[in-house]
Amino acid sequence: MANKRNDTEVFINNKKYTLSGFESEEYLQKVAAYINTKISELKTLDSYRNLDNDMRTILLEINLADDYFKVKRRFDDSENDSDSKSSEIYQLKHEIMSLNNKLEKTNKEIEKLREDIVEEQKKNVKLETELNAERERRIPERGTKK
């Protein structure tokens, strides 16, 4: 809706009407075109052509209301669908958070295990050094015994 009230000429069922309101001319022409399409659709039906004007008007109104209810139903379905998707997104984000936490823990564990390995390897080097020293000490002693 615009702020300025304006007059718009539309043709509905080949009759000219001047509508005064806040809606844009573009929108009102779209609405008029839609109503004319519904009238054209009804005019293809024998059952409609045989009716008096009053009954034709009522049938048009019912058809317009029917379109409203049909799209309203699709809208409600779409909203329900959108709500389910929101819940799914919430759950998926929760799962991602949980996986990231697990991953952080495992990465810390890997870091810790790598440190542990380095410690064990240091111990190994120390023990090998000690062992070599012991062996070197023993060999000359044997040598002296020969």
Burial class of residue 19 (count of CB atoms within 10 Å of its CB; 0-12, 13-18, 19+): middle
Residue 43 touches a second copy, criterion: CB under 8 A: no
Question: Applying CB under 8 A, does 85 fall inside the site for a second copy?
Answer: yes
- Whichever of 3 and 144 has its CB closer to a second copy, that residue is 144
Selected from 44, 57, 140, 143, the binder of a second copy by CB under 8 A is 57
Rounded-to-integer distance, Cα 60 and Cα 55, Å: 9
Cα dihedral 11→12→18→23 (10° resolution): -100
Pairwise CA distance, residues 107 & 42, whole Å: 70
Q: What are phi and psi of 117, to 5 degrees?
A: -60, -45
The residues binding a second copy (CB under 8 A) are: 12, 15, 17, 19, 23, 27-28, 30-32, 34-35, 54-55, 57-58, 60-62, 64-69, 71-72, 74-75, 78-79, 81-82, 85-86, 88-89, 92-93, 95-96, 99-100, 102-103, 106-107, 109-110, 113-114, 116-117, 120-121, 123-124, 127-128, 130-131, 134-135, 137-138, 141
